[in-house]
Structure 1
Amino acid sequence: MLVDVASYPRPQGSNEDFALSNSTVAVVLDGAGMAPGMKSGCRHGVAWYVEQLGTRLHREAARGDAPLTTCLATAIESTASLHRDTCVVDDPLSPSATVSMARVRGDVFEWLALGDCTVLIQSNGAVTATTDDRLAQVAPHARETLVRAVPGSPERQRAHEALVQEERSQRNVQGGYWVAAADPTAASQALTGSESASRVQGAALLTDGAGRLVTTFRSTDWQGYMALLRHGDPEDVLRQVREAEASDPDLSRWPRSKQHDDATIAYIRQVCC
C-alpha cells in the first residue's frame, strides 16, 4: 500500500488522534475527549492512550494474519494492562478511542471500523462509506441541549459535561455504543469487511473531524471526498475542513458540539502493485 497521512490537532489543543501505516497495514484512531475540567481517572490522558493502543494494534495486524477483530482485542487488553495498576481503566470516563484500519494480505483487502471513524473504499469507480454510528443514537436530548446552548457560556459547559456523562454511561453495553477502552470484547462489535485488493482503486480512513466536509458542512459527498483526495492530498482536504470551521465561529450555520475537532486522514492511494 502507498499511504498518505495528515493529522491536524484542534487549534490550541493537543492531538488526540493517531495514525500509523506501512506497506500492508494502516490504522487511524480518534481519542474520546473530555469536557474541560472533567477527570478521567487515568493519569496518562487520552493522547497517551491512543498512541499506545494504535502502536500495539498496528504491530498485531502487521506481524500475522489473525482476524482484525482479534488484533484489536489483543491490543485493547495489552494497553489496559499497561496502566491497570495505576489508573481506573474500567471507569466509564477512562480513555477510549474509535478505530479504523485496513490491511492487505495477498489479494485480500480487509478493513475494520469501531466507533464513528469512517472507512471509504473506491472499487470499480464507486465509493462506499462505512461508519459505525451507534454513538450518534445515544443521549439525543443531552446532545440537543448542548447544541442549543450559547458557545462559551456556563450553560454550554454544563451541557457538555452532562452529555459526556450520559454518553459514557452507555459505553460498551448492549443497546449503547462500542469503542476501544479496557474491555477487549468490544472488538467483536466492530464492523468489518473484505474484498479483492486488485479491485480496490483507493481507500481512506478518517476520524469524524476529518469527515465534517460531508457529515456536517455538506460541501460534498463521499464520492466527491475521494475525488478531492485523488486529485490533491489529505492536507488539502483538512485545510478545507479548517476553513469551514473558521467561517462559523458561533456554530450557528452548522450546529455542532465544538468549533474545531482533531482531524486525521490516512489515504491509501495505491492498494496493491
Structure 2
Amino acid sequence: MRVQIASEPGRPGRANEDFAAVAPGLFVVIDGAGTPADVGTGCEHSVAWYARHLGGAVLAAAVDAGTGLDEALAVSIERVNALHVRTCDLRHPGSPSATVALARMDGGRLEHLVLSDAVVVLDRIGQSPAVVTDDRLTDVIARLDEPERSPAVGSDAHARWLRDRVERLAAHRNRPGGFWVASTKPEAAGEALTGSSSLDELNGVALLSDGASRLVDRFGLLGWPELLAVLRKGGPEELIARTRDAEASDPVGARWPRGKAADDASAVWWAREDAVPRDL
C-alpha cells in the first residue's frame, strides 16, 4: 500500500483551514468553511482551529473498526463541542464548520463517508471512477438566484457579494431541505453519504477538499480519470501545483467565477502497489 498526502493554504503566510491526515488504514480530509472577517461566528476560535480539532477527533474515533464512520463523526462533533462550549456560543448560526471526507479499510473492504462538498474518488479496476460528493450545498446556492457572474475577486464589490452569500447560506445550514456540514450538531453526521467497496475492485482512492477538486468540478480542465492519472504519476503535490497554475491564470475570476482566487487545497491518495493497468 502506498499513501501520499499534501495540504497547503490558498495563499502563502495565511492559515490553512484544511486538515489532512492518515493513520494505518484510515484517511481523512477536513475542509474548514472560511468566512469573511466581518461576519460574526459567536466563537473565539478560528476555522483552522475547528478543522484541526475535528480532524484529530475523527482519527481517534474512527480507528475503532466497530464504530461506523457516521457514528465516529457524530462523536467527534460532540467532542469538539465540549472543547469550547464554555467560551463560545454554539447556537450561533455562523459557528465554525467544515466538510469531511473519510475512508477506512476494514478487512477486505474500503468504507467511505462524505459530508458536504468534499470529494472521494474511487479508482475502480476496469471501470470509470466513482465520485462521491454531496451536492446539496450547490443546490441551495442555485436556489439563491445569484447572478451568473460574481464581481472581480479582490474587489470591494466581491467582498460585499461574498459576505451576503455567507449570511444567506447560514439560514439553510444544517436544516432539512438545506445542506449539512460538520459544526455543532452531531446529527449532521447522519446526513453524510456513506458506502463501501471491495478492495479487490480498487486501484486506489482519493480524498479531496474542494480546493483540490476544482480542476474538474469548477474549472473543467480535467475529467475525473485525468485527475486520477495526475495523482498516479505525480501525487497530490502535482495536483495542487496544477491547480495553483490554473488559479494564477485567472486571478480575478473572469473565466471561473468563484469565492476565492486560490483556495486551501488538500488531497490524500492511496494506491495499490500491484495496481492493475488502466488499459486492461
Q: TM-score range by the shorter chain?
A: over 0.9
Shift of 1:195: 1.5
Give 2:240's aligned residue: 238
How far apart are 1:146 and its partner, in Å? 8.7
Equivalent runs, 1:1-273 vs 2, <5 Å: 1-12=1-12, 13-126=14-127, 127-140=129-142, 144-145=146-147, 147-270=149-272
Q: Which residue of 1 aligns with 2:278?
A: none
Structure 1 residue 136: deviation in Å?
1.0
Unmatched tracts of structure 2, length 5 or more:
276-280
Using the TM superposition, give the Cα deviation of residue 51 of structure 1 relative to its aligned residue in structure 2, in angstroms: 0.7
- Structure 2 CA distance for partners of 1:202 and 1:84, relative to 1, 3 Å: same
Change (3 A) 1:231 1:199: same
Q: Percent identity?
A: 41
* Distance across 2 between alignment mates of 1:270 and 1:157: 44
Task: Quote the offset at 1:271 in angstroms.
Answer: 8.5
Superposed displacement of residue 79, structure 1: 0.6
SS at match of 1:149: coil
TM-score with structure 2 setting the length: 0.93
C-alpha distance in 2, partners of 1:72/1:233?
27
Q: Could you list the per-position Cα deviations for residues 55-111 of structure 1 after superposition, in whole angstroms to 9, with x for gaps in the alignment? A: 010111113421110001000111111101100122110100000000001111100
Name the CA distance, whole Å, in 2 between partners of 1:200 and 1:159. Answer: 42
Aligned-residue offset at 1:142: 5.3
- Asked if the contact 2:153–2:258 (Cα under 8 Å) also holds between the matched residues in 1, the reply is no
The Cα shift of 1:53 comes to: 0.6
Distance 1:155 1:145, change over 3 A: farther
Q: Normalised by the size of structure 1, how large is the TM-score? A: 0.95
Q: What is the number of equivalent residue pairs in this alignment?
A: 273
User: Residues 9 and 17 of structure 2 are in contact (CA less than 8 Å); yes or no, is this contact kept in structure 1?
Assistant: yes
Matches of 2:202 and 2:273, distance apart in 1: 7
SS at match of 1:51: helix
8 Å CA contact 2:18, 2:266 repeated in 1: yes
Contact 2:152 2:254 in 1 (8 A): no
Instruction: State the alpha-carbon separation in 1 of the partners of residues 210 and 69 from structure 2.
Output: 21
SS at match of 1:144: coil
Equivalent position amino acid for 2:45 in 1 = H
**Which whole-Å CA distance do the structure 2 matches of 1:214 and 1:151 have between them?**
20
> CA 1:271/1:94 → structure 2, altered by over 3 Å: closer, same or farther?
farther
CA contact 1:146–1:163 (8 Å) conserved in 2: no
Which one is further off, 31-40 or 181-190? 31-40
> Deviations along 1:9-51, whole A, 9 cap, x unmatched?
0114210000110221101000000013223111111111111
Which segment drifts farther, 160-169 or 62-71? Answer: 62-71
CA contact (8 A) 1:98 1:116 kept: yes
2: CA distance, partners of 1:138 / 1:183:
19
Q: Secondary structure at the match of 1:237?
A: helix
Distance 2:243 2:201 in 1: 30
